[in-house]
Structure 1
């Protein structure tokens, strides 16, 4: 079976789609689909414009931001990140988010990988970049963003994961990518 046929093997064809909610960042729709066995089911789908995250390395430290995350009802330490504006190139968004949230600029951003954050119910794709050769400028977060900026070592990042100060997928993935980078000298696509 070819790769194309393999992808079609489990395809669910949309019969109808009902918009439920249209927000500033996300929308929600309920699709009725035909299953591969001929049955039908409903799928609740969150549509998202996509996002970027930046593993910003300053010598032997990683730049992170701490901010309150309302869905979790607690503060989290995360890599600088943000959503894509309509039609925005992910690399340009990564440059923008790094500077807005931390004040840092980089002359060297490299794509590490892109991944879907929650494919069971959302189409959000996150593009992860690594930034090196950082120069400090002035942070300019959005009006509704309240952040503390910190530079942490790999060991501190691993402890933050153990203590759940870091518990989001993009930051955990960035920490493991950084660890691999330190071990192999390679990160992202060649």
Structure 2
């Protein structure tokens, strides 16, 4: 890949004439012009001042641009150099627009692929679920001996069961959370348990096993 490190430059000599050249080290080239070590044209016309410089490009492109600038009159040299810059800017803008369109197209394609993959995964999951269901129905269910259902706990028994698990006591909010009962129901059952002597108050709204 060619390195874009060369530039075309215009300098104004002491006699107001313009000189066009190319370089890959502008600072050193200007110093050489002003010390009389560079082009024969500028040796007797120093000091020189930089007028304009192009953007960086390949050496091949700078040679082409330098040739075009040198073919026009002095009054049009700056215009010729900036015209080339403007053309390069336009071309860059066009290239970026093309890239942007391509990115949008690719983005749409990726979105479609994501949707397609999602549908395939869904179909695969459904097919697997159907297979599992089919296998499950094919297996003869084993006969189970009916187990005796345990006696259902009353609300009082449920509250007492949670209270006795907490040696240091348990508050109403925790009991509501664990049992699913509302505050009124907790208070009513706690009152019954206290009358039976099974629980006692460990603090305000806190109960523990008696």
Q: TM-score, normalised by structure 2?
A: 0.19
- Higher share of residues assigned strand: 1
- Higher share of residues assigned helix: 2
More relative contact order, 1 or 2 (CA 8 Å, 6+ apart): 1
Q: TM-score, normalised by structure 1?
A: 0.21
